[in-house]
Amino acid sequence: MAYLYSQTASDKETLAKASQLCGQALSLQPENPQFLDTAAWVAYKQGDFAGAWNYCQDALANSDKAVHSLHAAMILRGLGEKELALNYLNSALESNTNKLDEKTYSEAVNLKKEWATD
């Protein structure tokens, strides 16, 4: 449920519930990269970029999924780390394993174009 909330919700109450569910999941499997990435994404959507980056770093340490690199890029961008964000974005786009799905890849390409003008 936390993952679904992280993908669809933007209101404070639902994101708070997602955060609570992430905490429960992480208490059972603290190194699960999918749980960590979901917690990172919930924190990101709540505007807690520092907390999101902490979760994201742990997810990246336990996984090489391109989507985790993409989320890292977006979180770092929120923290004002533009150069490092671009590095992670490029890594996500260039991944030969665990590639992004077509829709997410297209969104990442659009982000790269948008960030190039900043």
Q: Is residue 115 part of a domain?
A: yes
Residue 90 — pLDDT band, cuts 50, 70, 90?
Answer: very high
Q: Is residue 52 part of a domain?
A: no
Q: What are the backbone dihedrals phi and psi of residue 22, each rounded to the nearest 5 degrees, phi first?
A: -60, -45
Q: Which domain holds residue 20?
A: 1-47
- CA-based nearest residue to 91, from 51, 53, 64, 62: 64
Q: Is residue 11 part of a domain?
A: yes
Mean per-residue pLDDT of the chain? 94
Q: Whole-model pTM?
A: 0.89
pLDDT of residue 99: 86
What is the spatial distance between Cα 116 and Cα 97, in angstroms, rounded to a whole number? Answer: 25
Q: What pLDDT digit, counting tens, does each position of 35-73 carry?
A: 999 999 999 999 999 999 999 999 999 998 999 999 999
Structure tokens that stand for 115 in this block? 């960030």
Structure tokens that stand for 46 in this block? 């709540």
Q: Is residue 100 part of a domain?
A: yes
Check whether residue 101 and residue 70 sit in a common domain.
yes
Q: What are the backbone dihedrals phi and psi of residue 84, each rounded to the nearest 5 degrees, phi first?
A: -65, -40
Based on the structure, what is the number of domains in the chain?
A: 2
